[in-house]
Amino acid sequence: MLKQNHRAWVEVDLSAIQHNVRQLKAKLTAPTELMAIVKADAYGHGAIDVSQAAIEAGATWLGVATIPEGIQLRCAGITVPIVVLGATNGVDEIKAIAEYRLQPTISNSKQALIYHEVLSQTEERVPVHLKIDTGMSRLGVNWQEAIAFVQLVQHLPNLEIMSVYSHFATADDKDQTFMQLQTQRFQQVIASLKAEGICPPRIHICNTAAMLCDRQIHYDIVRTGLGIYGLYPAPHLKNLVDLQPALTVKARISQVKTITTGTSVSYGRSFIAPQDMTIATVAIGYADGIPRGLSNRIRVAVNGQKVAQIGTITMDQCAIDVTHVSNVNVGDVVTFLGGDSENTADYWANLLGTISWEILCGFKHRLPRINVMNAISIKSITNFI
């Protein structure tokens, strides 16, 4: 590992992760458990360390999207149940599920039969979670067909039903009409199962937004993703729980120079100096996760002052206007994300017409993740490339 200062990096405040988990857990009524969703490398925060922090704070389940994500956590010594939320169908995938004690989502009868055929050859018995499509139209068996689906899986000796679940399409909307329709469909499925003498060990449907909207549907598990990273799924949910953003993106100045009136900055000459200026080149760009669409639209922090980013953001670098900042030098730290209302994933997402989830997941792994507690003491550096 290089011993020099990093050109750019992501800081993750693990104490904020733990705070958020505790705040969300406080909204639950026992015995509802909390599943921390740590897919996509914990939304760019670092899956292993975030998982460990979340478990210490009270999460009892983890959710991932892929088998390699689950294997990574198992190899790190994490022993809590890990649910693979994405589709898995291949023979090697099924064998890996069994070997690493992961718990797959089963979304249709054909998939269930494939699992049964593969596992019957190994005499393995795998706990599974059955996905019911109540309106998302993504993974899952149609809710009208759920009873026959669950009955089929129940009679496959190599599969053990751990839960029946669904997923909301509009839980973060103020208008809860469609969410209520999905809830009714899910409740109808559960009632019909019970009428057939089938009582799933667990049922769950809530993501972060839904758990904040309606305590009546917390059921046995809530699946919290964005909330544990300190962001709100929608503005109207901000007063319902105290969350702390956990991620900060920083980079160092690599050059300081003066330019004269009329000088253009970066590709395409999208910025022309209106006067003589002092500008700084910063060693971070769109290949690191700073969207090119934010060019000339954001303000960043350097030496305690807010300054404008100017010119087109390039693959590895961008420029900032430091004309009115005193004593700026090569190596000074610039904060791009984190610290105030103009440096948040929500703010960037609004500028780009996207969602904060995409912003968080966009920071590439050539940026080392530096884990801190209370943003003071550095604990470890992971994923350095």
Per-residue pLDDT tens over the stretch 211-222: 999 999 999 999
Question: For a pLDDT cut of 70, what percent of the chain falls above it?
Answer: 96
Instruction: Compute the distance between CA of residue 148 and CA of residue 337 in angstroms, rounded to an integer.
Output: 49
Average the pLDDT over 196-221 and give the result.
Answer: 97
pLDDT level of residue 17 (50, 70, 90 thresholds): very high
Average confidence score pLDDT of the chain: 94
DSSP state letter for 339: S
Residue 4 pLDDT grade (very low, low, confident, very high; cuts 50, 70, 90): low
pLDDT of residue 176: 96
Q: What would the pLDDT profile of 140-150 be if each residue is shown by its tens digit?
A: 999 999 999 99
Stretch 118-142: mean pLDDT:
95
- Domains of the chain by residue range: 60-227, 247-382
CATH architecture of the domain formed by 60-227: Alpha-Beta Barrel (3.20)
Mind telling me the catalytic residues? 39, 267
What average pLDDT does this structure show over 351-379? Answer: 83
> Tell me, what's the pLDDT at 30?
87
Check pLDDT > 60 for residue 117: yes
Q: How confident is the model at residue 183 (pLDDT cuts 50, 70, 90)?
A: very high
- The answer to whether residue 374 scores a pLDDT higher than 90 is no
Percent of the chain predicted with pLDDT > 90: 92
Binding residues for substrate: 138, 315
Residue among 125, 44, 57 nearest 365 (CA): 44
How many CB atoms neighbour CB 174 within 10 A? 10
| Average pLDDT of the segment spanning 22-36 | 96
Q: What is the pLDDT of residue 6?
A: 93
Give the model confidence (pLDDT) of 225-283 as tens digits. 999 999 999 999 999 999 999 999 999 999 999 999 999 999 999 999 999 999 999 99
Residue 382, pLDDT > 50, answer no
Average pLDDT over residues 67-90: 98
At residue 309, the pLDDT reads 98
pLDDT the model gives residue 381: 34
Tokens of 212: 């904040």
pLDDT over threshold 90, residue 350 = yes
Output the pLDDT for position 341.
73
Cβ-defined contacts of 1-5 (< 8 Å, 24+): 1/381, 1/384, 2/384, 5/252, 5/331
Q: How high is the pLDDT of residue 2?
A: 42
116 phi/psi in degrees, rounded to 5? -60, -45
Residue 140 and residue 54: Cα distance in Å, rounded?
28
Q: How confident is the model at residue 120 (pLDDT cuts 50, 70, 90)?
A: very high
pLDDT of res. 5: 77
The runs of H, that is alpha helices, within the chain are: 14-25, 39-44, 47-56, 67-75, 91-99, 109-122, 146-154, 177-195, 208-213, 345-352, 356-361
Range name among 1-5, 7-11, 167-171, 316-320 with the lowest pLDDT average: 1-5
Q: Does domain 247-382 have CATH number 3.30.450.40?
A: no
Q: In sequence order, what are the residues at sequence separation of 6 or more whose Cβ sits closer than 8 angstroms to the Cβ of residue 4? A: none
